[in-house]
Structure 1
């Protein structure tokens, strides 16, 4: 190979001023990790879902779609999807309303705005496992212990076993409040970004036209202009609700196992794939079904709300 040809090959590989080489130096490790720890397990899970994979990740007994039909016919799995729907009905509107209210209040502050923004966002950096244990052991602990029962005792109310009482289902209060505390600050930041994109001249024009500050301005100006942010927040909330695991598992499980109530899809799949039976084929099929449901729901929401349209 001539020197000119070698120079041409080197330039194509390295690029001008070796930029291509430095690109792969910085991006290559992340791309490799993403492929090894994300895409390879996803493809392996898809492959396992077509086999009878009991206590092994290298099965040989091909069963086709039997695992999928078994999961769709399993009342426990479909019941876990119902648990997800109920959890979504609680957590999505509650988080949306609280995060929007926090954003509106912080946005109106004349001083210490950065301080309060950081304070409300701080729980988002907390581990779900740690938060669940705090809720379980310090706030809603037992019948005679915990902050919640202590406060109830001050008013002469009966003590409550929050996590084991199913009628009424007080465990939903514990699950929803811990998730609400953990994620409201993050979505508050998203709403703050949306609020800061609204031009102040719109509010000035509304004041000139006689619009009363407060609900009237919010309903006619602020809320419509937050439409794109609101759609994105709802999409993220629904997807995160599908992925709920840590708070359910750490709040409700004990030495006796996990109770039969409030079992979301990921908890059910965890016990299916890694429990006593270790049926990785069924667990993988359930995971693929759940991923498809998330994708369909996300696309439907995006189309329904017109996410990405020119108006946004």
Structure 2
């Protein structure tokens, strides 16, 4: 068996030397916990990762019947409606601006991409403590004071829900640069001959060429960006938890699925079976939404 893996004359030895540790790490820290989570979802597992009593689909029924879990899915839907079109438009706009530059293109590409390297936790704390601080010393309240407005408690005001402004802007700042790079790659693949032919036919540069040439040519990139944005929105945790949680706990509003499951599995209840069932449901929802989007956009379909 070992000789077969290494191949004749041990040609594959260095392949396994370099990839082996990553494969082992992926299996141990990725696939094994994933499979074990599915197993736990069918058992009563309070305060333990060892299955005790088989309960079948009871955890799933309890989770689907939980109004708080359904509310967390609604929170995800609202967050998706905010963040997906906003990030799509901003990243596409940045890509178009950077692509048109003749000088300093590499500089601005790096500047806009740099926030991607920042930790979500660090960025959330900066937004919470410095930018949208609820007292009059925060940057946002300082600007409001210049115009004679009263300071706003951004993260605790629910009518209107100003906390969405904080959550959406920090996520937008963190991820717009990454999707800008994807759009830049797509823009560089658009043939210049299409623009030259359009100019010969009398098409005006600007909105006309963007609508009829640039954007259709970015179809594959746009589909990939939308799919990634929706999946990442489902997985939102760090910014919600670090922005809204306090010493008194997490507020009942703006609680996405992962934050809710965190408190179910690791909170006072320590119900790992119920939390695993919720995680499986969330994974299935992500899979269904992704497949539905891919079919709706015609991903992988051959062009006529």
Q: TM-score range by the shorter chain?
A: over 0.9
For residue 10 of structure 1, report the CA deviation from its aligned partner.
Answer: 7.9
Displacement of 1:59: 2.5
User: In structure 2, what is the Cα distance between the partners aligned to 1:173 and 1:100?
Assistant: 21
CA RMSD of aligned residues (A): 1.2
Matched residue SS, 2:78: helix
| Pair member with larger Rg | 1
Q: Give the TM-score of the pair, scaled to structure 1.
A: 0.95
Structure 2: tracts of 5 or more residues without a match: none
Q: Compared with structure 1, are the counterparts of its residues 13 and 245 closer, same or farther at alpha carbon in structure 2 (3 Å cutoff)?
A: closer
Partner of 2:91: 99
Counterpart CA distance in 2 for 1:152 and 1:16 is 72
Q: What is the rounded CA distance, in whole Å, between the counterparts of 1:149 and 1:28 in structure 2?
A: 53
TM-score (norm 2): 0.98
Residues 245-282 of structure 1: per-residue CA shift (max 9 Å, x gap):
00000000010000000000000000000001110010
Counting matched residue pairs gives 304
1:301 matched residue in structure 2: 293
Pick closer, same or farther for the CA change 1:51–1:215 going to 2, 3 Å.
Answer: same
Residue in 1 that maps onto 2:107: 115
Alignment partner of 1:225 is 2:237: no
Correspondence for 2:238: 246
Quick one: distance in 1 between partners of 2:3 and 2:54?
49
Question: Which residue is equivalent to 1:6?
Answer: none
Task: Tell me what 1:63 maps to.
Answer: 55
Q: How does 1:1-312 map to 2 (within 5 A)?
A: 12-311=4-303
Distance in 2 of aligned mates of 1:14 and 1:43: 29
Change (3 A) 1:59 1:15: closer
Q: Residues 68 and 218 (structure 1 numbering): CA distance in 2 closer, same or farther, change over 3 Å?
A: same
TM-superposed deviation, 1:24: 1.2
Offset at residue 122 of structure 1 (A): 0.4
Segments of 5+ residues of structure 1 without an aligned counterpart are: 1-8
Alpha-carbon distance change, 70 to 204 in structure 1, aligned in 2, over 3 angstroms = same
Instruction: Please give the secondary structure, in 2, of the residue aligned with 1:162.
Output: coil
Provide the rounded CA distance (Å) in 2 between the counterparts of 1:35 and 1:220: 47
Offset of residue 13 of structure 1: 4.3
CA-CA distance at 1:64 after TM superposition: 0.5
How far the C-alpha of 1:14 sits from its partner, in A, is 2.6
Residues in 1 aligned to 2:3 and 2:152: alpha-carbon distance in whole angstroms = 72
CA distance in 1, matches of 2:247, 2:3: 63
Q: In structure 1, how many angstroms separate the alpha carbons of the residues matched to 2:12 and 2:57?
A: 44
Query: What is the CA-CA distance between 1:11 and the residue it aligns to?
Result: 6.1
User: Partners of 1:95 and 1:223 in 2: how far apart?
Assistant: 16
